[in-house]
Structure 1
C-alpha cells in the first residue's frame, strides 16, 4: 500500500506529545542536573543515529523511525517501514513505539524542556504596542512566556465577498481605513479562523470553511496564520505562543473597531479555533473583556486540545464570549490512541458526536489524528447545502447510555451542531450520531 507521509508524521506527533507531557513533571529535576547540557548539539546527531539503528529495529519501532525519517525528508524509508507495520498488533505497536520514542527522540524532549525552562526564568516580558505578558495571570499560559512577535510573524488575511480572489494582508498595528471602506461599510459579522498545531492558513479546512462562510453569509473572514509559532514538534512553544497570537489579534480588532465604530461591534465578532487554536480564541476573549469590559459575540471551539490545557485556569471557557459552542471529537487522556481533545464540557453547548472520543471511519493505527481532525470537517459540513442538519439532543443517563443506544432524550430542547448552533434551543451536553464517511450528517 502507498503511504501518505502525513499519516506517519501524525503517529509520531501523538507519541512525541504523550512522552513530552509525561516528562514535564520531571522538568525541574532534569534542569537541575547536566542532562540538558548539549541538547542542541545532540539534536544534530539524530539523523545519523536513526539510520544506524534502522536495520535492527522491529516493525513496531520502525513506525517511529519512519516518522523521524519523514522529519528529515527521508520519505522513501518512511514509506517502506510503514507498509510492513500493519502486520503488527496495535498493543505491540504502542508499547514498542513508546519505548523507541523515549530512547531515540530524547534529544527532542530535552530541547523542549530546555526551551520551557528558559522561558520560566522571567515572570514578565513586555513588547511595544502589545503590552506586558505576566505568567501569574489567566492571560498567559503558566508554562512560560511566548516567543517575540517578530519570531512568530503572525499574518492576518482579510477575505470578503468583495475580494474573494484577492485577500488583503493586514498589519495588526496599523489599519488603513481607506483601504477597507468597502469591506466595513455596513454592519456584518467578523469571523476569525485560527488554525491548530503544526498547521497554516492554507490547510484545506481553513480555506474550505472560509469559502463556505462567504457563500452562506455576508461576512468578513479574517484568517490568522501563526505557522511559525505553532510549528511541529515544538508543542510547548506553541502552547505558550497562543497568548501572543491572541494579543496581536486583539490589537487588530481594536484598531478595526476604532476605524469603523458603527460596523465593527464586539457582539458580531466570532472566533473559530481548531485544536490549540481554540485556546488562542479563549485568550483573545479573556483579554478583550479585560481591556474593554465587553464580551465578544461567539467562540466556536473545534476539539480544543486537552494536553497542558484541560483542568487549568487558562482553558477556553464559556466565560470568554457571549456564546461558546464546542465540538468534541477526540476527548480523553490517551494521546497514543489519538485522544487529543478536551473531554469535559466547557461551553454553553457542547456537542459530542458519536460520544466525543472516537469517530467512525478512522483507521485503527494510521488514524491517530483522524478523530481530532474530524471536528473542523463536521463544522464545514454544517455550512454546506447537504439537505441534512446535525440534530442533537441531551440524554438522560449521559454519554454511557447514549453509546449503548439506551438514551432517552432529555426534554424537547433539540440542538444543531455546527455553524447554526446558536439558533437552536439545545444547550449543555448534546449527543448525536454521524456517519463514517462524508457526508457525515445522518437523519
Structure 2
C-alpha cells in the first residue's frame, strides 16, 4: 500500500533453510526448530538488502542453487523483506540491528547444538552486508567468513574492485536507462559473485595499490609461475587467506576488469612491443585475435597512451572476452588519437603475445612490422624462441 511504501513495513524475520535434501523447497526454521540443518556442515546465511518494491531478489534462487552445487552445506535465507520494504532507505536501515539480533540468537542456539563458528559464513548484499557486519562484531570477528557485496571503501581482508569499482560495463550511463540506471552497477557485485559458482568462469583479480597501476600491467606478478597465486573473486576468494596472513596488516585491494555480459570473464594477455622509430611515439594499440574456427576477439588498449621509444620494450596488458587456445592470425592497429595532423608510422622490431591465464602456452611472435596509423595490419604469428624473455 502507499502507506506501507512511505512509513515502511513492520519487521518480520524468517529463516528459510535449503539443503541438498530440500534443494527447491525451503524449510522455515527458528532457534527451536532446526529442520534438516546439519550442525557438522558449513552453514551459509544469505542476507538481502533494501527492497523498495517488496519483491524478492531476482538473483536469490540462482545463488542458493549455485552454493548447493559447489558444496554440500546448509543454505539459510534471512528473509527480512517485511522491514526492508519501503521507499525511504533510512526506514529500512533502522531495522538492520534488529535483524542482526535475530541472527545472533539463532547462531547461539546452533553453537549449543554443536555447530562451530568456523563453519558459519554470511553473504550480505547491500544493507544485508551491514547486518553481516553487525553479527560479526557480536562474535568479536570469530565468524568463519563474511562476504559483503556492495560497498566502496576497503573493509575486508581483501576488497575487490571490478572495473575500478565505479561504473560497470553494460550498465546504463544516464538516467534514461530508467530503474536499471540506479541499481545495475550496485547489483553487479551479486552477479559477479554468482559467476564464481559456475565451472566455466573463474575471475582472477590482481592485488594492487590502484586501478591505474593494474591497467598498466604493474600488478600481475601473482600470475607468474613460482609466485603466489592470484586471488579469485567470489566463493573461492578465501583460498587466498594463507597469503593474507603473510601481509601486515592482512588486508589488500584487488582490481580486475569484466566483460559487459554474463559470465563476465576477461582473459589477460601481455602484448610486448619493441620499436625502432628514431623519435618517440605516443599512442594506443588495438589487437585482434582469430583462431582457425573463425572466432575473433578484440582488445583496445587505450586507457592511456603508451610511450614507444627506440629499442625499449613496452608491455601492454590486453583484455579479451574470449580465450582462444590456438591463435591463427593477429591484427594490430596503431593510433595516436589525433583527428587532424600527419599520420604516423610505428616501426615494430618485435611483437610478442603471452597469456597470463595460461603461462604454459607457447608465446607468439612477429618481427619487422610497420604499422601505418589507423590501418589494420593482419599477420600470422610464429612461435617465439624458447630462450627469449
**Contact in 2 for aligned 1:201/1:223 (Cα 8 Å):** no
**Where is the strand percentage greater, Structure 1 or Structure 2?**
2
Match of 2:29 among 170, 182, 192: 170
Q: What is the rounded CA distance, in whole Å, between the counterparts of 1:210 and 1:195 in structure 2?
A: 12
Q: Distance in 1 between matches of 2:77 and 2:55?
A: 7
Separation of aligned partners in 2, 1:407 and 1:238: 42
Highest CA radius of gyration, 1 or 2? 2
Q: Could you tell me whether the CA contact under 8 Å between 1:352 and 1:432 is conserved in 2?
A: yes
Aligned to 1:300: 147
Is 1:363 the counterpart of 2:172? The answer is: yes
RMSD over equivalenced CA pairs, Å: 2.6
Q: Which of the residues 90, 97, 116 maps onto 1:265?
A: 116
Residues in 2 aligned to 1:157 and 1:357: alpha-carbon distance in whole angstroms: 33
**Does the residue aligned with 1:193 lie in a helix, a strand or coil?**
strand
Structure (1/2) with the larger helix percentage: 1
| 1:268-290 CA distance string (max 9 Å, x none) | 1000001111000001111233x
1:374 CA drift (Å): 0.2
TM-score, normalised to structure 2, is: 0.59
CA 408–267 in structure 1, closer or farther in 2 if over 3 Å, else same: closer
Which of 399, 421, 425 does residue 211 from structure 2 map onto?
399
CA distance in 2, matches of 1:379, 1:201: 21
- Say whether residues 1:288 and 2:102 are aligned partners: no
Aligned length: 247
**1:20-55 CA-partner distances (Å, limit 9, x unpaired):** xxxxxxxxxxxxxxxxxxxxxxx98xxxxxxxxxxx
TM-score (norm 1): 0.52
TM-aligned CA deviation for residue 438 of structure 1:
0.9
SS in 1 for 2:123: strand
- Does residue 190 of structure 1 match 2:26? no
State the Cα deviation string for residues 275-326 of structure 1 (Å, max 9, x = none): 111000001111233xxxx7110000011xxxxxxxxxxxxxxxxxxxxxxx
* Shift, 1:400, TM fit: 3.1
**Unmatched 5+ stretches in structure 2:** 245-250, 268-389
Q: Does 1:377 align with 2:191?
A: yes
Q: Say if 1:201 and 1:207, in contact at 8 Å, map to a contact too.
A: no
Distance 1:233 1:202, change over 3 A: closer
Would the alpha carbon gap of residues 407 and 358 (structure 1) be closer, same or farther in structure 2, given more than 3 Å must change? farther
Task: Identify the residue that residue 369 of structure 2 maps to in structure 1.
Answer: none
Structure 1 residue runs without a partner (length 5+): 1-42, 45-70, 73-107, 113-146, 304-341
C-alpha deviation, 1:410, in angstroms: 6.0
1:171 deviation in Å? 2.7
Q: Are residues 256 and 408 of structure 1, via their aligned partners in 2, closer, same or farther at CA, if it must alter by over 3 Å?
A: closer
